[in-house]
Amino acid sequence: MRTRLEAKVGAATLVGLVWAAAPLGSAAREPSTQELPAERPATIQRAYRGPGLRAFKAGHLAWERENWKTALSSMAKAREADADQPEAQVRLPGVFMSPYIPKYYQSHAQCQLGQCQEARREMDDVLRLIKDAPSYLRNRYQKDCQKACPRSAP
């Protein structure tokens, strides 16, 4: 009667023999015939820990609570402390991650406060910054801000 350990060792040996029996010219042995790994994305996401973090988190909390004036001032402080960094992620309460783009939240708050002239001035830049951001950011911005502050016809 075989013990479990003997059975596991026997199975591992069998797997090793099958792997070793692969032909020398096979794709498993020749790196030149293997598929190349997918290219890495142009931007590598990283955790943001810069000087604007505290103001960004306070501004985001105010934004979620639709306290537009506080969101506007906090995001202005975050932008003064550090420029927008769409590739950097900020951990917010819960398991939620958001890109560090204070200009987005600031522009959104301006729209909600009816400060359309200021928001429209930066709208193209904001849309460029959130191009690769999560879809909920793009959708909410387009739904809320572009509706509240439509572009004037040329």
DSSP 21: T
The reported pLDDT for the residue numbered 10 is: 54
Q: How far apart are CA 116 and CA 38, in angstroms?
A: 43
Q: How far apart are CA 44 and CA 94, in angstroms?
A: 22
The reported pLDDT for the residue numbered 40 is: 46
Read off the pLDDT of each residue in 89-99 and give the average, rounded to a whole number.
Answer: 84
Bridge partners for 122 per DSSP: none
**Percent share of the chain, pLDDT over 70:** 68
pLDDT tens string 29-39: 444 444 444 44
Read off the pLDDT of each residue in 6-31 and give the average, rounded to a whole number.
Answer: 48
Which of residues 123 and 43 earns the better pLDDT score? 123
Q: And the tokens for 148?
A: 């509240």
CB atoms within 10 A of CB 63: 21
Which of residues 6 and 147 earns the better pLDDT score? 147
DSSP 131: T
